[in-house]
Amino acid sequence: DVKVTQSSRYLVKRTGEKVFLECVQDMDHENMFWYRQDPGLGLRLIYFSYDVKMKEKGDIPEGYSVSREKKERFSLILESASTNQTSMYLCASSMSSGNEQFFGPGTRLTVL
């Protein structure tokens, strides 16, 4: 089975802190994605990557950056966390020619 793991299930940070969310997949997938999920807004794409060191902005990249130094790992960085970044963050991966995205369990981030 494909496994996508995220470094934390729950995280509490203070405004202004730098936050790292890590995602690792074990199926050699080319594509990796970071989404955030908020009530009433559905799932929104923050960034995605289709290869090592490659990244593309999604719908809402402001306030975020990403890093993909290795194929299996895709990191989401909040340079200076703000309260409006309190959300559920979901990582996903897929093959470049595949039909489905595999999601991790999510990280619920609270910024105080």
Partner 1 sequence: DAKTTQPTSMDCAEGRAANLPCNHSTISGNEYVYWYRQIHSQGPQYIIHGLKNNETNEMASLIITEDRKSSTLILPHATLRDTAVYYCIVREGNNAGNMLTFGGGTRLMVKP
User: Rule CB under 8 A: which residues touch partner 1?
Assistant: 4, 30-31, 33, 35, 37, 40, 42-45, 48, 50, 58-59, 90-92, 94-106
Map tokens 């989401």 to a residue.
76
- Token pair for 22: 């890590």
Nearer to partner 1, 3 or 18 (CB): 3
Q: Residue 80: how many CB atoms within 10 A of its CB?
A: 11
CB of residue 84 to partner 1, shortest distance in Å: 20
Nearer to partner 1, 16 or 105 (CB): 105
CB of residue 15 to partner 1, shortest distance in Å: 26
| Amino acid in the structure at residue 78 | L
Nearer to partner 1, 63 or 98 (CB): 98
